[in-house]
Amino acid sequence: MLKLILGATLFLQQPLINQDSLEAAVIEESMDLEDRTEEVMHNYDGLRQISNFQASEINVKLYMTSGAQEIIDNNTFDIPNEFNPAMFYDYVKNNFTSSMNYYHTIEPVKSVRDLNIVIVDMGEGRRNTISAAKIGTNIIEIDIRRWHKLYSGMRPYLAGLTSIHEYVHVNNYVLDTDETKLPRELTAIIFEGLSYVRENGEEGFRQTYLTNVAGNLENKENLLSEEYTDNTTLRYLSYQLINNVLNGNYQINGNKIRGLEHFAAAYLTDIDNDDEGFDDSCMLHNIRINNEILTLQKLRQETYNSR
């Protein structure tokens, strides 16, 4: 999860973040994903609605818990400064609106009609978590301290990435209730990577994504694992896929960006688990390496060999 450190600049020489930064922060694993939204919303202390808006025809409600409000009232942010509530709420709204709009250019199906964004204090135990989609709900929690840092100019580009990452999870809970951790996270990370390309261009992606977002790859052997290990590993796999399609090392029909976006939508909606969903989506959109269909196993080995 993210460690937000001073010096918010896109072109960094050293990775200053922990690798699991934009992780879905899903603490519990659950295969029973009946809609828990009402139950979870009732469990928040002092919950009050701040505003509502629409993004891609989705009704979005922004809420504040009493714990988050206490941090605002006492100005106990990590870096205390003047807090303008209206500007902060607009910052949250604008980032989610942009991310949701981009998501729905890739996947036009509206899997959820309503989204609840809840501003919370995640506490000391989750100091590095920016946002967290709640399993089996249409709720995304955002941490008041972390988002305050983004709003204050400390790595503000992460706001858009965490927004689309978590929104993918919310939709994925509806589209594939039985999906396991690895494909669920890899799907969100591929959307996240494509969003980064959209904002920073192909060259910006090549030069800064691994440093600014992925962080250090602490264990190269994890790249070969067929089980979920961490989000850094998956970000290196995603980078390998996106970068090699864009530079022509992997072949794809038609426009490369649109091809990757169509692939991402197919991977999101594929109901197979393990490697099968990825492999099926590569076959569907004819992503090839040396004129053979790319598979997740081949991508793992390619990524491992490149490090």
In this structure, the answer to whether residues 162 and 189 fall within a common structural domain is no
Residue that is last in its domain, among 130, 146, 175:
175
In this structure, the answer to whether residues 205 and 118 fall within a common structural domain is no
And the tokens for 151? Answer: 């709003």
Q: How far apart are CA 23 and CA 232, in angstroms?
A: 9
pTM for this prediction: 0.88
In this structure, the answer to whether residues 77 and 52 fall within a common structural domain is yes
Q: Are strands 250-251 and 131-133 parallel, antiparallel or unpaired?
A: unpaired
Instruction: Determine the structural domain holding residue 195 and report its residue range.
Output: 181-306
Indicate if the pLDDT at residue 12 is higher than 50. Answer: no
Residue 27 lies in a domain: no
Beta bridge partners of 115: 60
Residue 7 lies in a domain: no
Residue 192 lies in a domain: yes
Residue that is last in its domain, among 142, 175, 208:
175
% the chain with pLDDT above 70: 88
Indicate if the pLDDT at residue 241 is higher than 60. Answer: yes
Tally the domains of the chain: 2
Indicate if the pLDDT at residue 5 is higher than 50. Answer: no
Q: How far apart are CA 129 and CA 2, in angstroms?
A: 6
Query: Residue 20 — pLDDT band, cuts 50, 70, 90?
Result: very low
Residue 98 lies in a domain: yes
Residue 67 lies in a domain: yes
Residue that is last in its domain, among 156, 175, 194:
175
In this structure, the answer to whether residues 73 and 186 fall within a common structural domain is no
In this structure, the answer to whether residues 169 and 299 fall within a common structural domain is no
Q: How far apart are CA 200 and CA 209, in angstroms?
A: 9
